Structure 1
Amino acid sequence: MKKLLKKKFIYEPHHMNFRWRVNFLFLACFFLRLCFTGKYLDSCDSIDFALGLQDYDLSQFQPHFPGYPVYIFISRLFFKVFRDDVWALTMPGVLFGSLTIFPLSLLAKHLFSEKIAILTALFYLLNPLCWLQSERPTSDTMGLFFVIVSACLLCYACTTAHKGCIFWGSLALGFGLGTRISNFPFIAVWAASLFYITTLKVPREKRALSLGLLGLTIGIITWLFPQIGYVGWRPFWQNGFVFSHGHFTDWGGSVITFGGLDRIICLAKSIWAYGLGGWWYDSSVLRLIPSVIMAISLYWFLKYRRVDRRVRFLGAYVLPYLLWVILGQNVANPRHILPIIPLLLMMIAYGLCKAGERDYKGIALILTLSLIMSMAVTSFRLVIKYHQEVPAPIQIIQWIERQGNPLSLRIYCSDEKRFFDYYAPQWDVRKVRDITEVQRDLLSSLDNPQQILLVHSFGEIRQFGITHPPRVTIKGNPYTDSTREGLLLYTLTGL
């Protein structure tokens, strides 16, 4: 295998050019991501991760089940260097998000061509969701890296004689599950690849199944056994049951709690507007340019790409995960559709390249350059805004601090309580859903606070029956702020 790679990538000039181009894109990607990293913990999940760095406890959702052990382990290594929670949690996304350039370009090259691979890597570098998510202190981008590595190696295993790709691709998927357990639908493309290798490929690889199972098992055991050893067998599964029940029936945003037409619209917006940077009614009119180009490119992909084993491989990758998002994930949160965006970018790149090679050479070139420029402008505006803005819950905390003695207050809020737990742990902050829970808590309290504040989002405030105007209004940016609706702060009286 080493001799083959040496011959392929060192002695052939066009392979040297491809390798240097990919290296350049990686360096550009890493530098740009590094310049615009987030300054704050911007979501409840990132707060959970930060608390987990200091006091790892699944029962307290620090972080929640199954504990993201691979991501936390890497983040702790960065914490030893930077001694800062935000940097420790963000750097894995910056590093692994940039490294994704390599397996993604190799996957696109193996499926299609070098030209399509380079264009796919460039689109990935400039894509708004892939870029913005790399700046956030969350595990999504690191999980994407392992998924793309696994897909790349499994694709190689399906079309070459390199048996090692089966093992290493399966191992990468096991690590990906330890980074984000929600990557489990990619077991489908793993199983489909093993089925093809063992039954349809000529010649058949009899050891493929054992190699695949061995790699996946080692990848899972590497993080699962230490996790169970630390938490305990019974508490680990109890936490898993409690979390799963809450996720699917209460706060997780699954189809059980949020369905109908609104769910379909949210999914479409997450993929098109947040994921690909397309136009939506609340976005800039400039997004119409990439929207038209991407729509034409996807049409060209369907026109020029016949259904073969390569398209089936893409389908085995995208469709199971998309089904999981539709049924079990919070479709209003665009980071959940991150793993399918690189494959959609690959389809767009294929459509533009093939149209340029066949019927529309000049037009395809103009559209490609226009898409690159418009995508770059959109992404730069988003990451600069994200880098400069203070998240809405932290703005609320800063405002309360400026008003005087916060220890004399009682603050009622929703999920924003996690921000208070981290940034102001000494304050009296309680989580409630409606005015009934506020009244019940006050009746059960021994001491009455001097002042009562209520912090909630625009959509939730109707549960409290408040008619007077808020003291503070913090507007959220739906494209950069995890609190998309913004937050309102009220003073409660007469309770």
Structure 2
Amino acid sequence: MRPPRLAIGALLLFYLVAHLIFLPRTLEDLDSINFALGVREFDVARHQPHPPGYPLFIALGKVSTAAFRAMGVAAAAPRGLAVWSAVAAAAALPMLFLFFVALEARARVAWWATVITAAAPLYWFTALRPLSDMTGLACAIAAQALMLQRRPRALAAGALLAGLAVGVRSQTAVLTFPLFAFVLLRRDEVLPVRARLAALGAAAAGVLAWGIPLLIVSGGLASYLQALGSQAGEDLGGGVVLLWTHRSPRVAFAALQNSFVWPWDWWPGIGMCVLAAAGALRVLWRAPRAMLLAAIAFGPYAVFHLLFHETQTVRYALPLVPLVAYAAVAALETKRALPIGAAAGLVAVVSLGLAFPASWTYGREGAPVFRAFDDMAATAHGGEPVDTIAMHAGARRAAEWVAPILPARVAKAPHGREWLTLVALWRARPDAAVWFVADPRRTDLSLFDGRARTLARQYRWGFIEPPFVGGARPGPVDWYHMRQPGWMLDRGWSITAEVGGVTARDRSGPHLAPAVAWVKARNDEALLMIGGRNLSGPPGAPATVLLRLNGQPIASWAVAPGFFMRRVPVAAGALGGSGYMAIEVTAAHDPVIPVSLEQFDVQGPGVPMFAYEDGWQEPEYNAVLGAGWRWMSERSVLWVRPVGRAVKLTLRGESPLRYYDAAPQVRIAIGDHAIGSFSPSSDFDETFELPADLLASADGRVSLQSSRFFVPGGEGGSGDQRHLALRIWSVSVE
């Protein structure tokens, strides 16, 4: 029994209205900014939009944006793009129903699969975004449905739409042309040769309709291919994590999660995948032809997506949502209508319960980075001075879009080395006030004295990211006020694992070229702390570390293989002058021994400092988690500078129940005196007061002892033999 047309009409009307009222007030993902810039001025070479160009989507955006502006609609640029996602999502549903019916002629399964698809968190939310994904999918689904109707005119219409769809979103070719080839080549008396040739002509006409204008406005074929090659180089050059270029079980597992689980949220996604697996086997058993058609329609895209997409960007999995929905409903099907309706309805309600609040927040607040820029403009309008706005490179395109409202010049910095632009700025203008838009997953701001940095505000999405905006760039951001730092580090350091990776790629480090620290001029005495590792390993030879201040040696010592930490007093007047003084660090040995510089601080009298000493492991970093940390062993030592008063020590770390079955007991002590203890059973943030007299008597050595630890490689094994007790995100003193 087919559902009544009135019900279908009500569903489509509800769907469209529910999305139109939540159209976003800002752009968000980098692609959406590129699209908006393309609507303003089309230039593929300047990534307006990014290759391959999306000419038909840009044309639609130009029409709707102009119309919205003429009607006085606020935020016409993002809403002029997003409106096509809403319209396309609603328009795709009847065509999706038609496609599902063409598979098995099971109207009840087709109806509920369409309902579940419409309510799926990824499908629902992508229908709000100012991106081409939903519009492209709608065109592809319509083309597929028409191709399966076994009528000459429908086949020609589907072929024409398939050709046009590539001009909306290029990836639709992987959805439509394999099925088109199958329909053309299979034996079917209903489709004569003339009809098949006409369909080929229609597909070619669809491609030429946008392809010829695209080449003309791009300056010819050579110019267009050059722009296209630059995009391919970025994707395949290693900077983007693709399964094709990063072939490992971990990346493959993450790709499967991002493609099939996260589009529904975590636990609902696992349930949907279990149902879909059972349903796929059921369809294969009862209707092999339907499974073959589904495999031809969606299989090539699934393979292409898993291998060549950055699957962390969850929206790329959008075309796989209908396939999972149909297979899941096939598993739920019974002879009676009530059970399948109740089960499918429950799935839809759960999905909408996840998607609707996220949609409301998204439409009301917009993207984090644009909220940050709006607040900067308002703060500057209120009179707070700023000389330069700097940022991690991921926010640079967004800054280009909002440039007219920004209250100061934007410092353009190379990706991955943004801190060097700030070093150059403060060397030239030591009094410059900087507002910095930081990616919270990055750790390079550790290259500046943290006491000169104040967190003004944090900006987050306001909902869980993966089902809705997973992989969006830029994502969450932090706004920092930064003033002249007491010190800043140039090239050659490894203060964090992220920065150490840059140093390794640049083939720098103190054993190859001087690592420079720029220290603010001052007349009083100071204490310098430096630490790191001799990486030669036992039984390697010691390296000689030499510090020079303005070219003059101030300290030198031998560093044996392993960790080291050194405190160097700097006499009053040695840093006298103006601006910044250069401290060069070199590590000498013949042949070269690699040395990693992982700790640094310089402070005047009375300012607390700390350093990692015995029992701490090297800094680590996970780009996916966007977090850096150090492991402490079962007994680790921190040096905390005695300053004649009590010092507060704060430890932030991960819940140890991620790797233990019970919480460990952690004891903090100075010498024989217990300062405190705690037993963490979740992520922790613990603060302890360290008495001045105890710190002074112990020369600042504070011990941390854990009742539990583990060996990653197994006791006595050949793998990692480190003793790991707690993962510590950060240590601070004040």
TM-score range for the pair, normalised by the shorter chain length: 0.7 to 0.9
2:459 to 474, 488, 491: 474
Whole-angstrom CA distance in 1 between matches of 2:30 and 2:81: 13
Pair 1:370–1:291, CA change in 2 (3 A): farther
Give the 3 Å change call, closer, same or farther, for CA 229–315 of structure 1 in structure 2.
same
For residues 146 and 180 of structure 2, the distance between their equivalents in structure 1, rounded to whole angstroms, comes to 10
> Matches of 1:459 and 1:261 in 2, distance apart?
24
8 Å CA contact 2:419–2:445 kept in 1: the answer is no
Corresponding residue SS for 2:478: strand
SS at match of 2:438: strand
CA distance, structure 1, for counterparts of residue 446 and residue 195 of structure 2: 59
| Secondary structure at the counterpart of residue 56 of structure 1 | coil
Indicate which of 54, 62, 78 corresponds to 1:86: 78
- Which residue matches 2:59? 73
Quote the Cα distance in structure 2 between the aligned partners of 1:293 and 1:175: 33
User: Residue 103 and residue 304 in structure 1: after superposition, are their counterparts in 2 closer, same or farther (change >3 A)?
Assistant: closer
The structural deviation recorded for 1:465 is: 4.1
Aligned AA (2:102): H
Q: 1:284 maps to what in 2?
A: none
Q: CA deviation at 1:66?
A: 2.0
Give the secondary-structure state (helix, strand or coil) at the position aligned to 2:391.
Answer: strand
Relative to structure 1, the CA distance from residue 18 to residue 429 in structure 2 (aligned partners, 3 Å threshold; closer, same or farther) is: farther
User: Structure 2: how far apart are the matches of 1:302 and 1:406?
Assistant: 65
Distance change (3 Å), C-alpha of 1:28 and 1:410:
closer
User: What's the CA shift for 1:431?
Assistant: 3.5
Specify whether residues 166 and 365 from structure 1 end up closer, same or farther in structure 2 by C-alpha distance, changes over 3 A only. closer
Equivalent in the alignment of 2:393: 414
Q: 1:278 to 1:239 in 2, by over 3 A?
A: same
Match of 2:416 among 419, 434, 457: 434
* Matching of residues 240-389 of structure 1 within 5 Å: 240-255=228-243, 258-279=246-267, 287=268, 291-292=270-271, 295-296=274-275, 298-306=277-285, 307-353=287-333, 356-357=334-335, 364-389=340-365
Is 1:212 the counterpart of 2:194? The answer is: no
TM-score (norm 2): 0.58
Partner of 2:14: 28
Measure, in 1, the Cα distance between the counterparts of 2:345 and 2:389: 55
Note if contact 1:46-1:138 (Cα within 8 Å) is conserved in structure 2: yes
Tell whether the 8 Å contact from 1:400 to 1:406 is kept in structure 2 after alignment: no
What SS does structure 2 have at the residue aligned with 1:331? coil
Instruction: Summarize deviations over 1:352-384 as a string: whole Å, max 9, x none.
Output: 22xx218xx765454233222212212212212
Which protein is bigger by CA-based radius of gyration? 2
Aligned equivalents of 2:93, 2:258: Cα separation in 1 = 23
CA contact (8 A) 2:99 2:148 kept: yes
Using the TM superposition, give the Cα deviation of residue 478 of structure 1 relative to its aligned residue in structure 2, in angstroms: 1.6
CA distance in 1, matches of 2:193, 2:282: 37
The Cα of 1:466 is off from its aligned counterpart by 5.5
Alignment correspondent of 2:92: 100
Q: Using the alignment, how far apart are the partners of 1:362 and 1:145 within structure 2?
A: 30
* Distance in 1 separating the partners of 2:340 and 2:244: 44
- CA deviation vs aligned residue, 1:143-164 (integer Å, no higher than 9, x gap): 001100111011113xxxx111
SS in 2 for 1:488: strand
1:64 CA displacement: 0.9
| 1:136 alignment partner, one of 114, 129, 132 | 129
What SS does the corresponding residue of 1:135 show, helix, strand or coil? coil
Q: Is the 8 A contact 1:126 1:375 kept in 2?
A: yes
Shift of 1:219: 0.7
Task: Give the gaps of 5 or more residues in structure 1.
Answer: 1-13, 280-286
Percent of aligned pairs sharing the same letter: 17
Cα distance, 1:29 vs structure 2: 1.4
Aligned to 2:370, which of 394, 407, 412?
Answer: 394
Structure 1 CA distance, aligned partners of 2:427 and 2:245? 32
Distance in structure 2 (CA, Å) of the matches to 1:446 and 1:213: 64
Secondary structure (helix, strand or coil) at the match of 1:62 reads coil
Question: TM (normalized to structure 1)?
Answer: 0.84
SS of the residue aligned with 1:433? coil
1:268-311 CA-partner distances (Å, limit 9, x unpaired): 332334323342xxxxxxx4xx7436623541442354252221
Give the stretch that moved more between structures: 173-182 or 401-410.
Answer: 401-410
Residues 413 and 421 of structure 2 are in contact (CA less than 8 Å); yes or no, is this contact kept in structure 1?
A: no
What are the residue-to-residue correspondences of 1:97-246 with 2, within 5 Å?
97-112=89-104, 113-157=106-150, 162-186=151-175, 187-196=177-186, 200-202=187-189, 205-233=192-220, 234-246=222-234
**Separation in 1, partners of 2:344, 2:214:** 47
Q: Is the 8 A contact 1:70 1:179 kept in 2?
A: yes
Shift of residue 255 of structure 1?
Answer: 3.1
Q: What is the alpha-carbon distance in structure 2 between the residues aligned to residue 378 and residue 432 of structure 1? A: 38
Helix, strand or coil: the match of 1:88? Answer: helix
Amino acid at match of 1:377: G
In the TM superposition, residue 444 of structure 1 has moved relative to its aligned partner by 12
> Aligned-pair distance for 1:129?
0.8
Pairwise CA distance, 1:36: 1.7
**Aligned equivalents of 1:46 and 1:111: distance in 2?**
35
- Counterpart of 1:283 in structure 2 is none
Normalized per residue, which structure has more strand? 2
- Give the superposition deviation at 1:424: 2.5
Structure with the greater relative contact order (CA < 8 A, sep ≥ 6): 1 or 2?
1
- Give the C-alpha shift of residue 250 in structure 1: 4.8
Whether the 8 Å CA contact 1:69–1:179 is kept in 2: the answer is yes
Q: How many residues align?
A: 461
CA distance in structure 2 between the partners assigned to 1:433 and 1:379 by the alignment: 34
Question: How large is the Cα RMSD of the aligned pairs?
Answer: 2.9
1:162-209 Cα offsets, whole Å, 9 max, x none, are: 11122111111111110111223222222122221xxx3346632354
Greater alpha carbon shift after TM alignment, 111-120 vs 131-140: 111-120
Q: Distance in 1 between matches of 2:46 and 2:315?
A: 23
Deviation at 1:320, TM superposition (A): 0.8
Partner of 1:58: 44
- 1:437, CA displacement in angstroms? 6.2
CA contact (8 A) 2:156 2:199 kept: yes
| 2:387 partner letter | S
Cα shift at 1:464: 5.9
Please state if 1:43 is matched with 2:29.
yes
Change beyond 3 A, Cα 1:58–1:149: same
Q: What is the identity, as a one-letter code, of the residue corresponding to 1:416?
A: A
CA distance in 1: counterparts of 2:290 and 2:283, whole angstroms:
13
Residue by residue over 1:285-340, the C-alpha shift from the partner in whole angstroms, topping out at 9 and shown as x without a partner, is xx4xx743662354144235425222111001121111111121110001111112
**Rounded Cα–Cα distance in structure 1 between residues aligned with 2:243 and 2:129:** 26
